[in-house]
Structure 1
Amino acid sequence: MADRPHQDTRTGPADGAADGAGWQPPEHEVEPAYQPVQINRADGSWAVGRINGWWRPSAGERAWCRVRALGRGEAPTWVPFDPERLLLLPACGT
């Protein structure tokens, strides 16, 4: 994946960040997922969450994921996947 931010000129936010404005990619392009994550928040705190969808706009562009923090009543939000902010956890196994 590329290191530059994704800017979707079709339906995504023009500034390259999902900002809670209800933006989402076309549903037929979303891959369902069940991926536990640790979310590194802007204030430096960590929260447990889940990625429940992936969207890959095109080859070579950053993937986006629909992520939700658990236990806080927050709605899922689409964000560009950033391994510095979203630490993937094992989904199963020991």
Structure 2
Amino acid sequence: MADRPHHDTRTRPTTGLPGPAGPAAGAGWQPPEHEVEPAYQPVQINRADGSWTVGRINGWWRPSVGERAWCRVRALGRGEAPTWVPFDPERLLLLPACGT
């Protein structure tokens, strides 16, 4: 599955995030683990229906220089599985991970 084309334009309705699905279009798709940068980044997720929910980014993947970064994001408290999506600052608002 890692050889899925990067030009897939389907959407991922399970994430609530609109836009191209890219390599994450296949169910259970993920980048090679050795290319994933672990993370712990709280986010606000702007869902396709316009609502907001709290979530967490727990991995980053950058396909190559100049290409859009992807993140593994999961909405909290909804029982949803983490999903790889292209990072979009209009849809994923990064929140402070620590501090006062």
Give the TM-score taking structure 2 as reference length: 0.77
Check conservation: 1:17, 1:80, Cα contact below 8 A: no
Check conservation: 1:6, 1:61, Cα contact below 8 A: no
Shift of 1:19: 3.8
Check conservation: 1:2, 1:60, Cα contact below 8 A: no
- Residue correspondences, number: 93
Provide the C-alpha distance between the structure 2 equivalents of 1:37 and 1:51, rounded to a whole number of angstroms.
7
Shift of 1:21: 1.2
RMSD over aligned CA atoms reads 5.8
Q: Which structure 2 residue ranges, 5 or more long, are not aligned?
A: 12-18
Provide the C-alpha distance between the structure 2 equivalents of 1:40 and 1:28, rounded to a whole number of angstroms.
29
Q: Which structure 1 residue ranges, 5 or more long, are not aligned?
A: none
RCO (CA 8 Å, sep 6+): is it higher in 1 or 2? 1
Relative distance call for 1:67 and 1:89 in structure 2 (3 A) is same
Relative distance call for 1:10 and 1:4 in structure 2 (3 A) is closer
Relative distance call for 1:37 and 1:4 in structure 2 (3 A) is farther
Relative distance call for 1:57 and 1:9 in structure 2 (3 A) is farther
Check conservation: 1:6, 1:80, Cα contact below 8 A: no
Provide the C-alpha distance between the structure 1 equivalents of 2:92 and 2:83, rounded to a whole number of angstroms.
13
Check conservation: 2:43, 2:55, Cα contact below 8 A: yes
